Structure 1
Amino acid sequence: MTTAALTSSTGRRRTRRRSGWRGLLYIAPAMALVIVFFVLPVLFTVWMSLHKWPLLGQPAWIGFGNYVRMMSDARFMTALGFTAHYTIIVTIAIFAVAFPLAIFVEKQRPLVSVYRTIIFLPVVVGLASASLLWVWLANVDSGLFTPLMQRLGLTSGRLNLLATFDAAFLTIIAMVVWKIAGFTMIILVTGLQAIPAELTEAARIDGARRWQRFRYLTLPLMRRTMALALILSVTGSILAFDQFYIMTSGGPQNRMISVVYYIFNQSFVSFNLGYGAALSIALLAILVAISVVQLWLLKVGDDRP
């Protein structure tokens, strides 16, 4: 190899090295935020979970005692079951509402921007504020839902929508769908708009009907968009807390205690901080596992790079 070639190779290596350091410099602030606000808190939570950690007094090392206790905690298992039940129903309900809305507002039509804005407006309301609003709407004396249901003939008398499990559960589902469906709609609209119009037009010219175009063209091309919307919906549902705490306080009969609500009770009501930390780590592991499984299932049969 000639001297010129060696010099050129050395120069390229130095350029790549400088580019690498420059790239690390650019991402350093983001890395610092992730380390300070995620990695370090998670590591400290793991450390807490290995102790009996009272609010007052010195922590005591118990190893995996909190995790062993978790396996035989019937109330935690009940909270897990309720959270899974809620997650499945609310995710299906959100997609059942958001997908038709996305198809409706994706096409250019008069006032489509107004429709998108109206549908998206509940998203900007905080979940706690939305829960308080729906508590007032469902109030048996001063709310609007009971008179409306009487006018529609759905009930003959006053009905307290938050007094029984079934009614309260459906009310919370309706509130969450009203609050979240607009956000999921925007994600799905983005996926719909990314589908090349030439493909849809070619399928239509070839004689594919609307359902066939949706089944064999739209859905396959939206796999990754739907994966994002599904992961966000499932993760948010598993982490549900505000609506149960504000609207029902875990009732009726403590049947609406989600996993996060149970962690809150153990940590800040019973002051079992070490056990609450162990429950939090277990919930984090469940979320990671579910996200990995969802991504794997949605990639099955996807031959694209």
Structure 2
Amino acid sequence: MSSTTAARRTLATTPRTGPKRDAPRSSLTHPPRTGFALVTPAVLFVLVFALAPLAVAVYISLTNWPLIGDYRFIGIQNYLTLFQDPALVQSILYTLLYTTIVTVPILVLGYFLAVLVRSKRRGSTVLRTIFFLPYVVGLTTLSFMLVLEAQPNSGLLNVILKLLGITDGTTAWLVNGPLATLLICVLVVWAVSGLTMVLLMSSM
């Protein structure tokens, strides 16, 4: 083997060294202006549709602003009048009572539904859809349906109870305070348990 051939082989097997190239920049790294550009629409949306109306509402609460005519600034007089109203205390107490009644059933029922549909059983997906559907329909729509179905003599609730022999079918559910509270609590528990189920499933 000649010395020329040996030198060529040596050069072929020797790794070439040259200037090192910088590592490719991560695709998840962006300049700060990109972040500001992405956040700006959300910030503007919150400013225009949330914070600005809130500021206007606070200013209106400090005035005597009729629907028709001029208004005048009266400071915190509206708040002083509000806290002197006995209905405010009654509303706060009723809200606390309502919250106490619905909180535990929502958590218990939501947990039970989450355990039920989390297992890999046939029909679990269908059950998840059925349980979550009341929340999708919306509490406003469900409330309107409740008003229709709780009417005396014509509502489905009274019709069913009359067929079962429990009532005479003329119960005014929405006129009686305790009965109306019971219906509202049942409606809210039914409507929100699906959302609680989804949240607990994600934590499981």
TM-score where L is the length of structure 2 = 0.77
Q: Is 1:169 matched with 2:153?
A: no
Tell me which of 58, 70, 75 is aligned to 1:58. Answer: 70
Q: Is 1:76 matched with 2:76?
A: no
Q: Could you report, residue by residue, the CA deviation over 1:111-155 in whole angstroms, capped at 9, with x for unpaired residues? A: 1111111111212213232112222322221222223334445x2
Tell me which of 94, 111, 118 is aligned to 2:130. Answer: 118
Q: Where does structure 2 lack aligned partners over 5 or more consecutive residues?
A: 1-28
CA-based RMSD of the aligned residues comes to: 2.0
Matches within 5 A, 1:141-220: 141-153=153-165, 155-158=166-169, 159-192=171-204
DSSP 3-state at the match of 1:130: helix
Letter of the structure 2 residue corresponding to residue 104 of structure 1: L
Tell me what 2:149 maps to.
137
Q: CA deviation at 1:179?
A: 1.7
Counterpart-to-counterpart distance in 1, 2:144 and 2:52: 34
Letter of the structure 2 residue corresponding to residue 73 of structure 1: D
Counterpart-to-counterpart distance in 1, 2:66 and 2:159: 49
Q: Is 1:21 matched with 2:21?
A: no
Q: 1:147 and 1:56, CA in 2 relative to 1: closer, same or farther beyond 3 A?
A: closer
Q: Is 1:40 matched with 2:52?
A: yes
Counterpart-to-counterpart distance in 2, 1:32 and 1:156: 56
DSSP 3-state at the match of 1:142: coil
Q: Where does structure 1 lack aligned partners over 5 or more consecutive residues?
A: 1-15, 193-305
The percent identity for this pair of structures is: 34
Q: CA deviation at 1:27?
A: 0.3
Larger RCO, structure (CA 8 Å, separation 6 or more): 1
Higher share of residues assigned helix: 1
Q: Is 1:105 matched with 2:120?
A: no
Counterpart-to-counterpart distance in 2, 1:163 and 1:50: 35
Letter of the structure 2 residue corresponding to residue 157 of structure 1: D
Q: Which has the larger radius of gyration?
A: 2
DSSP 3-state at the match of 1:185: helix
Counterpart-to-counterpart distance in 2, 1:177 and 1:156: 24
Counterpart-to-counterpart distance in 2, 1:112 and 1:29: 39
Q: CA deviation at 1:161?
A: 2.3
Q: 1:51 and 1:115, CA in 2 relative to 1: closer, same or farther beyond 3 A?
A: same
Matches within 5 A, 1:223-238: none
Matches within 5 A, 1:5-20: 19-20=31-32
